[in-house]
């Protein structure tokens, strides 16, 4: 094979999966195979995610992807901190006091997940194990930490969220899955140390990703969506 043909064979072919299919197939996966993704595929996935819109095109997202030994080191430290009761010090405090219909959906989600994992309401040990699975990154081969400059406010944080959605849908298109994780904001100093981050970047959340392990019970969890009349109001006069 000629050098030119070899280069062509190494190119990543974009998948044929339609956007709407990717939207419906995307879900939070909490168990992954120990299988790496070719670097050229990762590059293409993140290149596509980079097309996300942002206020004045400032592209505020800062993303740090850990794998291999670095990922394992972060996993060990985060599990140790959590199991040892170390108080989290998030850059952006979590405000998740859900009430009314939001609380109802939160409970339904928790029931679906813990039922899949066979963890009862009074099973404190099982629930702690479920918590620690977050900091084990659900055995994903990759964990991405997403941050932005603290000078940006809520409006720009929304831009970061749109980038994350681009990423998660693109992962599905390439046969991968992910799980967005608010818990990854708990120990941001570990992330800054791991990536030698010296600027003003503050960590918002994380996303674990890789190939799904279909044998993991948590991956049987399914949630539902309300009809659009619950959230959407159309009006012309």
- Domain 15-230 belongs to what topology? NADH Oxidase (3.40.109)
The pLDDT assigned to 11 comes to 66
pLDDT-based confidence at residue 153 (cuts at 50, 70, 90): confident
Core vs surface per residue 31-61: b (16+ CB within 10 A) or e: bbeeeebeeeebebbbebbeebebeeeeebb
> Over 80: is that where the pLDDT of 1 sits?
no
- The per-residue pLDDT for 94 is 81
Predicted confidence (pLDDT) at residue 118 exceeds the cutoff of 70: yes
Task: Find the mean pLDDT for residues 81-86.
Answer: 97
User: Any idea where the domains of the chain sit in the sequence?
Assistant: 15-230
Q: Which two tokens stand for residue 114?
A: 């813990």
Read off the pLDDT of each residue in 132-158 and give the average, rounded to a whole number: 95
Instruction: Taking residues 9-32, report their average pLDDT.
Output: 90
Instruction: Tell me the whole-structure pTM to 2 decimals.
Output: 0.91
pLDDT at residue 104, as a whole number: 93
pLDDT at residue 155 in the model: 87
* Least confident residue range of 5-19, 164-178, 194-208: 5-19
Q: Is the pLDDT of residue 34 over 90?
A: yes
Phi-psi domain of 183 (left: phi exceeds 0; alpha: psi -120 through 50; beta: other): alpha
For position 5, what pLDDT does the model report? 42
């Amino acid at each position: 094979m000629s050098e030119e043909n070899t280069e062509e064979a190494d190119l990543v072919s974009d998948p044929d999966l339609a956007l709407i299919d990717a939207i419906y197939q995307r879900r939070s996966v909490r168990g992954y195979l120990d299988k790496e993704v070719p670097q050229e595929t990762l590059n293409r996935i993140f290149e596509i995610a980079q097309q996300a819109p942002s206020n004045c095109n400032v592209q505020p997202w800062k993303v740090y992807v850990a794998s291999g030994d670095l990922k394992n080191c972060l996993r060990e430290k985060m599990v140790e901190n959590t199991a040892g009761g170390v108080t989290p010090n998030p850059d952006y405090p979590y405000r998740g006091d859900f009430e009314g219909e939001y609380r109802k959906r939160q409970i339904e989600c928790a029931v679906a997940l813990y039922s899949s994992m066979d963890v009862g309401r009074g099973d404190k040990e099982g629930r702690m194990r479920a918590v620690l699975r977050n900091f084990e990154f659900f055995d994903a081969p990759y964990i991405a930490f997403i941050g932005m400059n603290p000078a940006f406010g809520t409006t720009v944080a929304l831009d970061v969220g749109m980038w994350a959605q681009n990423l998660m849908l693109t992962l599905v298109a390439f046969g991968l899955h992910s799980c967005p994780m608010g818990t990854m904001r708990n120990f941001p100093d570990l992330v800054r140390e791991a990536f030698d981050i010296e600027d003003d970047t503050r960590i918002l959340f994380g996303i674990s990703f890789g190939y799904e392990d279909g044998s993991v019970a948590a991956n049987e969890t399914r949630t539902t969506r309300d009809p659009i009349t619950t959230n959407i109001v159309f009006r012309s006069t």
